[in-house]
Structure 1
Amino acid sequence: MARSGFWRMLRILDAIPVWLLALMVMGLLFLCLETGYRLSHRKPGLGDVSALQASVLGLVALLLAFSFSMAEARYSLRRALVVKEANAIGTLYLRIGFLPEPSRGEMRAWLRRYTDLRLEGHEALGNPALFATKLQESESLQDELWARLEALAPRVETPVLILVTQAMNDVFDVSDERVAAAHNLIPTSIFILLLVGMLGSGVLLGYRPEARLRGLLSWSLFVVILTAVMFTLLDLDLPTRGRIRVDQGPLRSLQEQLRIRP
């Protein structure tokens, strides 16, 4: 249920173009700046709000730094898991060589296909339906590999069986770890708090009783920079959106190596 809910949320987000989301946020920020400006001329009795402005901006900066730290840690984990999965599959491929024929050749062929599915699935992470299909196919191959190993168990020496079983378990475990890492995002409450802080800072920055004209240049710089930072954070945290994607190079290199191996 949790997994289906996650992908359902991503489908809703994917239905909205990034540029449209950015324009919506920019529009809200300009609206908050305008609201603060009008309040400052209708009710100018709040006095000097510079200290409050500095406090709110400091809080927003702290939230941004904290969020970037969380997003970077999750991104680094997803990147490390690609290397871990490539190593696990490569180890299993080598250890299958201890098994007798024809099971050895069949299981290695399945493992090559499994590598293709893993690579295709994670490269298509922006398409939740395709990713789910590739994930289901790879899980079916996991069942076939395990069933074949179970059938071979009585005819294989115990040390060899332990080596192959351990390597196969590692492949299955890292597969689940990668799915869990894709679901492990910054909590929504932090993004909501960050958005509230951004909008609140917009109202406070627009509150300028002494100003006769709107500071359109400073407003534009504030809105553009804050929106760019916000969406860079989202780009880093969400594995399905934007241009910051985890490089699948280790799996791609493994795929090429397995194609030329017997």
Structure 2
Amino acid sequence: MFRILDVLPVWLLALGVMGLLFLSLEVGYRLSHRKPGLDDASALQASVLGLVALLLAFSFSMAEERYSLRRALVVQEANAIGTLYLRIGFLPEPARGEMRAHLHRYTDLRLEGYAAVGEPEHFAKLLRESDALGVELWSRLEAVAPQLPAAVLMLTAEALNEVLDTSDERLAAAHNLIPTSIFFLLLVGMLGSGVLLGYRPDAHVRGVLSWTLFVVILTAVMFTLLDLDLPNRGRIRVDQQPLRALQERLRAQP
């Protein structure tokens, strides 16, 4: 399903799901007039709708947990970079100025990279450049290590390691999505509930208004869930304000 999302716009996929839901309602309606007599249709409707509601609640819980983690990691990364910047102040020149200049550029790349998550090639390029800067920062610290007191070296190395580890954690969190099988099961449940809701042997006309409300609400809920889960699509994005605030503070430093 995520491969389809990488190819098709979300709005086009939403229209496709809406079409499938209307089709399922139509199938249920026609079956009810060709093969009436399903006495426990209302019980099945309640059961399937309850299952769909349970799946939606479970999926939203998973998506919200992942979203909250990605948001917390932004704060963690900003704090780690800020701490490293301060601890670099213990180093002698020219290492201090060089490493702080690299850290300025590293912060810029992190912001540019997460603004380009919807452009895989550009994102990968920026990620490689930020990783290379991380390696360069570590190399500069190794070069100046013999000149440093043990306590200063330990504090600076610890801060730099936190910056690099947080970068890896953010990348892992961006790829930690709800399994595709859950979305597939949710779609099957939605279509099944559509068939059962369309099954109305006692009705001689289609419930256009109720059908439309059912389709629009379910589609909106499902794609809000997708929007929340996918960090590189849609309008729900993790706010990078902590990193932007840090960037401004670093630029204000002499």
When the two structures are superposed, what TM-score results if normalisation uses the length of structure 1?
0.95
CA distance in 1, matches of 2:130, 2:158: 19
* Residue of structure 2 aligned with 1:208, choices 194, 200, 203: 200
What stretches of structure 2 of length at least 5 have no aligned partner? none
- CA contact under 8 A between 2:2 and 2:180: conserved in structure 1? no
Does residue 187 (structure 1) correspond to residue 183 (structure 2)? The answer is no
Q: Against the structure 1 CA distance between its residues 110 and 10, is the aligned structure 2 distance closer, same or farther, given a 3 Å change threshold?
A: farther
- CA contact under 8 A between 2:227 and 2:236: conserved in structure 1? yes
Question: Which AA in structure 2 matches 1:201?
Answer: S
1:4 aligned residue? none
1:37 aligned residue? 29
After the TM superposition, list the runs of 4 or more consecutive aligned residues in structure 1 that deviate by more than 4 angstroms. 9-12
1:98-247 alignment to 2 at 5 Å? 98-247=90-239
**Displacement of 1:15 after TM fit?**
2.7
**Displacement of 1:14 after TM fit?**
3.3
CA distance in 1, matches of 2:248, 2:178: 35
Identity percentage of aligned residues: 79
CA distance in 1, matches of 2:147, 2:11: 60
CA displacement, residues 159-208 of structure 1 (integer Å, 9 cap, x when unaligned): 10000000000000000000000001111111111000000000000011
Does residue 54 (structure 1) correspond to residue 20 (structure 2)? The answer is no
**SS of corresponding position for 2:235:** coil
- CA contact under 8 A between 1:125 and 1:240: conserved in structure 2? yes
CA distance in 1, matches of 2:59, 2:49: 15
* Residue of structure 2 aligned with 1:92, choices 81, 84, 98: 84
What stretches of structure 1 of length at least 5 have no aligned partner? 1-8
**Displacement of 1:158 after TM fit?**
0.6
When the two structures are superposed, what TM-score results if normalisation uses the length of structure 2?
0.98
- CA contact under 8 A between 2:70 and 2:170: conserved in structure 1? yes
**SS of corresponding position for 1:45:** coil
CA distance in 2, matches of 1:97, 1:53: 66
- CA contact under 8 A between 2:71 and 2:239: conserved in structure 1? yes
**Displacement of 1:12 after TM fit?**
4.9
- CA contact under 8 A between 1:41 and 1:209: conserved in structure 2? yes
**Displacement of 1:253 after TM fit?**
0.4
> Across the two proteins, how many residue pairs are aligned to each other?
254
